[in-house]
Amino acid sequence: AVERMGVYLKLKQGFDFRCLRFPMVLSPSAPAGAMTAYPSHAIAAAARGDTFVMPVAPDTGMSTLYLNDVTRSIVEICSAERAALTQHAYNLHSFMFTAQDLVEAIQSRFPGFSCTFTSGSPTDDLILRWPDVFDDSAARADWGWAPHYDFDATIGALVQFANAQR
């Protein structure tokens, strides 16, 4: 609704409306109840030496961004030349990973980590409805969007934070 209102104000009143659409965002301080925060919580569990229950199937994955790229993208879209923007709203994407990819990345840093998977959960169902890759080609072309964090860099940052919290 906010996006539709922004587009309306842009078209009718000349309002400089710019919108970003984010995929799953990974954050070191993900809230406990967030359905898509399981990657951060799994890494924190591994750092504590705990087991973890993945609320998704091993092959469930989706488009993702790390929080630092999210905050930087907001500054960048606000700083972009208005004339260069060909769209009202832009999708962003950095990487796609599956729950199994996550487990392997965690186990490479915490060899004793173990977990189980949950197929058909509400979280699994939600994520399976989202695209694996958000097409962010317009953002890349119009204002030079490019993520700084890929999967490995994101996992490294999350592990570093989790280790500091122990």
CATH number at residue 146: 3.40.50.720
Structural domain includes residue 9: no
pLDDT at 33: 82
Phi-psi region of 144 (alpha: psi -120 to 50; beta: other; left: phi over 0): left
Q: What is the pLDDT of residue 165?
A: 85
Q: Which pLDDT score, from 0 to 100, does residue 35 have?
A: 83
Predicted local distance difference test score (pLDDT) of residue 91:
97
Below-70 pLDDT ranges, the chain: none
Query: How many Cβ atoms from other residues are within 10 Å of residue 139's Cβ?
Result: 25
The set of long-range contacts for 71-76, using a CB threshold of 8 Å and a minimum separation of 24, is 72/148, 73/20, 73/139, 73/145, 74/20, 76/143, 76/144, 76/145
**Number of compact structural domains in the chain:** 1
Report if residue 4 sits inside a domain: no
Q: What is the DSSP letter of 37?
A: G
Boundaries of domain holding 145 = 19-165
Is 7 a member of any domain?
Answer: no
In a domain, 14, yes or no: no
Domain membership flag for residue 2:
no
Question: Is 157 among the domain residues?
Answer: yes
- Rounded CA gap, 56 and 54, in Å? 5
CA-based nearest residue to 91, from 48, 127, 134, 54: 134
Which tokens is 113 given? 């980590």
In a domain, residue 122? The reply is: yes
